[in-house]
Amino acid sequence: MSELHSTARHDRAPIQPHHEEAARTWDLGGIDYDNISFGVSDALAHATQRLNPRQGQHILDIATGTGWTARNVARAGAQVTAVDIAPELLRAAEQLSGHLQPKIRFQQADAEQLPFDDASFDGIISTFGVMFAADHAQAARELSRVCRPGGRLSLAVWEADGAVRDFFEVIGKHSGGPAPEPSPLDWGDRDHVRELLGEDFELWFESGINNHYFDDVEDAWEWYAQGFGPIRQVVQQLSGDDREAFRQDMDRYHAHYASDAGIHIQREFLLVSGRRK
């Protein structure tokens, strides 16, 4: 795993107690989590283009991870504030984003309790991030609260059924913990999103496919075991035959997407775009 050498410090805001374990899990990927973002970068670009940020606008990126989406937005000249619950991912984001101007402000903060004034931002984006907040309704209220009237919203979320559901079922089978309730994948249900956000935002929906390629199942395993916190956590918890069984189940999952050229995973996602009423 790559080492972090950045000494940059980021602001901190309180993290909800029920998110502390999740923060530790996602932190396990460290700077290598940026490779996970690379694997979904076509979807992250889709979300940024629908947000259509402009120079001088103030944009909030929620659950930024290692900052891939924040960097996408900053390329347009927007002033970006990017938050996450995971401090190691934020340190990686600072290291990877230091070359950009205007400088991105990274801050540890919780999607359910954003440390910003009402109507602070011209646009809000979250790419496979806010959907993992435990309290969907509270996270949605915060999205609405900090977005100015007329401001833009862009959310990339995984569809409720399909490749990502199956992926997390393999992880859940071996993690020993209960499935989260409500499921983060509920954000892939249009009716659920309308219930959460429809009162405050005019909403539009687009279906998308994220394409990710590997040479073989071993290549895929090494990619995720290196940079994906939930998989690293399960690997650390297991040993011997149990760890090997997890590896075999992940290999079978990826083998399902084998093609003549290698592995081609096609993950269904939903792009939610909106404008604050």
**Each residue of 7-42: pLDDT tens digit?**
334 577 889 999 999 999 999 999 999 999 999 999
Residue 10 pLDDT:
55
pLDDT by residue (tens digit) across 58-72? 999 999 999 999 999
Residue 6 has pLDDT above 70, yes or no: no
d(C-alpha 98, C-alpha 103), whole Å: 7
CA angle 145, 146, 152 (to 5 degrees): 105
Q: Which of the four pLDDT bands, split at 50, 70 and 90, describes residue 52? A: very high
Domains and CATH numbers, the chain: 12-158+180-211+269-276 (3.40.50.150)
pLDDT by residue (tens digit) across 179-226? 899 999 999 999 999 999 999 999 999 999 999 999 999 999 999 999
pLDDT by residue (tens digit) across 123-165? 999 999 999 999 999 999 999 999 999 999 999 999 999 999 9
Quickly tell me which residue has 């081609």 as its tokens.
264
Angular region, 216: left φ>0, alpha ψ -120 to 50, beta rest: beta
Three-state SS sequence of 118-169: CCCEEEEEEECCHHHCCCHHHHHHHHHHHEEEEEEEEEEEECCCCHHHHHHH
Residue 7 pLDDT:
32
In sequence order, the β-bridge partners of residue 58 are 79
pTM, two decimal places:
0.94
Residue 177 pLDDT:
82
pLDDT by residue (tens digit) across 79-123? 999 999 999 999 999 999 999 999 999 999 999 999 999 999 999
